[in-house]
Amino acid sequence: MKPARLWLVAVLLGSLLTLVPPAAAQEEGPRLQHTDIGWHANYFATKDLSGAVALSRTDRNINFDWGTGSPGPGVPADRFSVRWIRTIEFEGGNYRFTVVTDDGFRLYVDGRLILDKWIDQPSTTYTVDIGLVGGHHTVVAEYYENTGGAIAKLSWRRLTELGVEVIVDELSEGFTWGGPLSGQREAQVGWVGHTFYTRNARRTPENYGKWTPILPTAGNYQVYAFIPSRYANSRSVRYRIFHNGVRNDKVINQSWYSNQWVSLGTYYFDASNDGSEFVIVYDNTGEAYLSRYIAFDAVKFVKR
Ligand SMILES: [Ca+2]
Ligand SMILES: [Ca+2]
Ligand SMILES: [Ca+2]
């Protein structure tokens, strides 16, 4: 092709490219939000989102401290309101939305009002937690300023399971007692006011206690044993922690502790919840036969 024709093609293409997007944008206005370039914002020169739109623009974030000034041309410094709309793709999970506002704020997710603080107030922080399935969700934030300072901030974060605790007490479903002999005793001490205990064997185990948790997700968990104030004076209680196909042992001197959680360490659990991950204690402590008490109280798993 001759250069002149190439130029013509380029011009035609160019005009197509410049013509097509505005037409598409007009036709599919709301779909602009799917590109998620920010918030579609309408500002009103009233306190209640009424009347003509005084200013329409895209706000990349809702993170404003306008002081005593105006948010933009055509909008007064007092008695104005804003509606922001954005469609956002979320990973499934629980989310914490945080709002800082002076004065009123309302927040909707998929048309559901999740925060309603439509009142005059000094700068105030609110949080609201909601669960979201994965995919696109439409978030609408409404705000008004009465007088004085004007602040509007909205942020969110996905909540993880950090700090989630799973406790298997000796009376829980996940606890099992076993052994060739049954020396199980119980006392009204310990976690939730009850513990099992036994006197120690020497070399051959006669009893054991086993704690099997149901864990919400794979990951690192810090494991603790609760040691009651009585019936817990063996100096050599071996906790065997089975996790992710691995076994780790932690020996605890129960006589050192009274009515408290004692860490057995942090381990990775695959959370298969098929009975392969558990903590087990046998009563063969090696101490003089029946000379010491071993308590079998609660074990907890804390996500780290
Ligand atoms: Ca103001
Ligand atoms: Ca104000
Ligand atoms: Ca207990």
Residues 182 and 141 in one domain: no
Q: Any idea which of 77-86, 154-163, 234-243 has the lowest mean pLDDT? A: 154-163
Note the pLDDT of residue 36. Answer: 67
Q: Which CATH number do you get for residue 213?
A: 2.60.120.260
**Kind of pairing, strands 175-178 and 208-211?**
antiparallel
CB 175 within 8 A of CB 195: no
Whole-number Å distance, alpha carbon 299 to ligand 3 midpoint, is: 9
The reply to whether 1 falls in a domain is: no
Is 8 inside a domain boundary? no
Ligand 2 centroid distance, CA of 49 (Å): 16
- For residue range 31-43, list pLDDT tens digits in order: 344 456 899 999 9
User: Would you say residue 14 lies in a domain?
Assistant: no
Q: What is the pLDDT of residue 158?
A: 83
Q: Which residues make Cβ contacts (< 8 Å) with residue 85, sequence separation at least 6?
A: 33, 39, 40, 41, 138, 139, 140
Q: If you measure from the C-alpha of residue 171 to the centroid of ligand 3, how many angstroms do you get, rounded to a whole number?
A: 7
Domain stops at, among 137, 159, 181? 159
Ligand nearest to the CA of 297: 3
Give every CB contact of residue 21 below 8 A, 6+ residues apart in sequence: none
The ligand minimizing its distance to the Cα of 194 is 3
The pLDDT of residue 29: 34
Percent of the chain exceeding pLDDT 70 equals 87
Domain identity same for 198 and 241: yes
Distance 188 CA to ligand 3 centre (A): 9
Nearest listed ligand to the Cα of residue 186: 3
Is 277 inside a domain boundary?
yes
* Peptide bond between residue 103 and the one before it cis (omega within 30 degrees of 0): yes
Tell me which of 104, 138, 159 is where a domain ends.
159
Looking at mean pLDDT, say which of 8-12, 95-99, 288-292 comes out highest.
288-292
- Å from CA of 148 to ligand 2 middle: 4
Q: Do 40 and 142 lie in a common domain?
A: yes
Q: Are residues 123 and 200 in the same domain?
A: no
Q: What is residue 173's predicted lDDT score, i.e. its pLDDT? A: 86
**131 shares its domain with 199:** no
Least confident among 25-34, 183-192, 257-266:
25-34
Query: Are 72 and 49 in the same domain?
Result: yes
Residue-wise pLDDT tens digits, 99-134: 999 999 999 999 999 999 999 999 999 999 888 888
For residues 120 and 246, membership in a common domain is answered with no
Let me know whether 80 and 180 are in one domain: no
Ligand nearest to the backbone CA of 226: 3
Mean pLDDT in residue range 166-179: 93
Domain boundary among 159, 176, 201: 159
Q: How far is the CA of 43 from the centre of ligand 2 (A)?
A: 16
Find the 118 Cα to ligand 2 centroid distance in Å.
12
∠ Cα 282 268 177 (to 5°): 25
Containing domain of residue 263, as a range? Answer: 165-303
State in Å: Cα 236 to ligand 2 middle.
65
Mean pLDDT value of segment 174-199? 93
Query: Mean pLDDT throughout 159-165?
Result: 74
Share of the chain above pLDDT 90, in %: 75
**φ, ψ for residue 14, nearest 5 deg:** -60, -45
- Judge whether 15 lies within some domain: no
Instruction: Output the CA 232–ligand 3 centroid distance in Å.
Output: 13
- Residue 191: what pLDDT? 96
Q: Are residues 126 and 51 in the same domain?
A: yes
- Is the same domain home to 131 and 213? no
Task: List, for residues 247-267, the tens digit of each pLDDT value.
Answer: 999 999 999 999 999 999 999
Domain assignment of residue 6, yes or no:
no
pLDDT band with cut points at 50, 70 and 90 for residue 182: confident
Q: Residue 26: its pLDDT value, please? A: 33
Domain count, the chain: 2
The pLDDT of residue 285: 97
Instruction: Tell whether 22 is covered by a domain.
Output: no
Q: What is the pLDDT of residue 162?
A: 66
Q: Which residues surround ligand 2, an ion (CB under 5 A)?
A: 102-103, 148
- Per the CB < 8 A criterion, the answer to whether 97 and 106 are in contact is no
In a domain, 62, yes or no: yes
Residues 195-251 have pLDDT tens digits of: 999 999 999 999 999 999 988 888 999 999 999 999 999 999 999 999 999 999 999
Report how far ligand 3's centroid is from the alpha carbon of 99 (Å): 41
Question: Residues 34, 153: one domain?
Answer: yes
Of the candidates 233, 212, 239, which has an alpha carbon nearest to the alpha carbon of residue 287? Answer: 233
- Spacing, Cα 185 to ligand 3 middle (Å): 13
Ligand 3 center to residue 16 CA distance, Å? 75
Q: What is the pLDDT of residue 216?
A: 80
Residue 299 and residue 170 share a domain: yes
Q: 302: how many CB neighbours lie within 10 A of its CB?
A: 18
CATH number of the domain within which 71 lies: 2.60.120.380
